[in-house]
Amino acid sequence: MSKTSDRPVIGIAASLIQHSGNQMAAHSVGQRYVESLEAFSNCLPVVIPARADHYDFKELLSHFDGIVLTGGRANVEPHHYGGPPFPEDEPIDPARDNLVLSLIRACVDHKMPVFGSCRGLQEMNVALGGTLHYRLHTLEGKNDHRMPRYEGVTREEIFALRHTIQLTPGGLFQGLVGRDQFDVNTLHGQGIDRLADEFEIEAVTVEDEVIEGIRLKNDETFTVGVQWHAEWYPEKEEHLLSRRLYEEFGKAAREYQQRK
């Protein structure tokens, strides 16, 4: 492991979580994102609080060599992409939305590496002009991609490999693993509807053709989003694609650090 001062610094966008009956708020990032960045990207993770109104994004990005966009319980609010309003009981996180949508656009302008998982992929698509389906499982021909909800479900069952994705021939993903298909986990209700023009597809589900992987067209660094939770079990061989993506992100962050 390199010295801390030598490792690329990665900003992880926080969610604003309400606790204790909405009496206490916390800027929160899941521990697995931190651990996977340290272990497989050899980077130094730093949490970015969801306080977009307090940032000059050019100045903010000067402190980082890459950005990670995590999953989250709340969905991107539909007014950001012209969708119909959510039901009143839908979890939302406007502070996170305001942070990441500006952050993503700034990263693309600065050619800074970005790696998004689950909600992160959806944010990337919305930030560059794409749209989302509110609930994939309500659409004809689409499967239920949400996490198992039965009583007593274990963490291993939640993050188990549950469907197969088809990797785009000649794409980044296929090149990283030398395979045409891979199995991944699935824990999302929303999904990409119209893909932003600036992205190209890296993977779709075999059964119902839901977009599972995207990459910036003519990408000069690593601007990649995946619909699954890549932070879970990249140390296992059956999760090789996730591990390779973390490694490639770390490589891109080091190259950005050197250029900077």
Q: Which residues does the annotation mark as catalytic? A: 118, 229, 231
- The b/e string for 17-43 (b: 16+ C-beta within 10 A; e otherwise) is beeeeeeeeebbbbebbbebbbebbbb
SS3 call for 199: strand
- Nearest one of 244, 237, 75 to 167, comparing CA atoms: 244
Distance CA 69, CA 96 (A): 10
- Nearest one of 94, 95, 77 to 86, comparing CA atoms: 77
- Nearest one of 66, 70, 105 to 222, comparing CA atoms: 66
Distance CA 105, CA 34 (A): 23
Strand 181-184 with 66-69, pairing: unpaired
Contact between 121 and 214 (Cβ < 8 Å): yes
- Nearest one of 169, 146, 227 to 193, comparing CA atoms: 227
Cβ atoms < 10 Å from Cβ of 62: 10
